[in-house]
Amino acid sequence: MLLTRIDHVAIAVHDLEAAIDYHRRAFGAEVHHREVVDSDGVEEALLEVGGSFIQLTTPTRSDSPIAVFLEKRGEGLHHIGYRVDNCVDALASVVAAGGTAIDEQPRPGSRGTIVAFVHPKGSFGTLVELVEEPA
Ligand code: CO
C-alpha cells in the first residue's frame, strides 16, 4: 500500500478569511499553517484534523487554476491529497495503472512537501495530489 494517510482535503473558496472564520465558529478549528504558493497562484490555510488537514484555498491571481475552477464550478471540493512515502514511486505506479499525471515530475508544494497532481480523467473524476512530507 503506497498511501499512508489522507494528507488533506482541499476546498476552493472565494474568501479565505470568511472560510477560516466559519470553520472556527462551526468546529473550533484553528489555522495550523498558512502560505501563499506563488507557483500555483494560491493562498492556503491548513486546519489540522487528527494529523490530516482541511486545506482552504483561494486564488491570488486570475490565471490561477483555482480561479478558473471557481469561475467554472463555484466554491467546493477541489482535490484530495494522498500522503505517500515516495512521490516519484507513487506517480510511476499511478501511471502504470492507467492514471494520467498532470505533473510529469514531482515538484515543490506547500509546507516544504513534494507533490504531483493526477488528472481527474482516469481517476474517477477526482483530482488527486500525491504528497510526500519533507525528509
Ligand atoms: Co493540495
State which residues form the domain around 118.
3-132
Domain CATH number, residue 87: 3.10.180.10
Domain tally, the chain: 1
Query: Are 33 and 111 spatial neighbours (Cβ–Cβ below 8 Å)?
Result: yes
Mean pLDDT, the chain, rounded, equals 96
Mean pLDDT of 130-134: 94
90-105 confidence digits (pLDDT tens): 999 999 999 999 999 9
Neighbours of ion ligand 1 (CB under 5 A): 10, 81, 129
104-122 confidence digits (pLDDT tens): 999 999 889 999 999 999 8
Q: How far is the CA of 129 from the centre of ligand 1 (A)?
A: 6
**Model pTM above 0.85:** yes
Q: Taking 80 as the threshold, does the pLDDT of residue 135 lie above it?
A: no
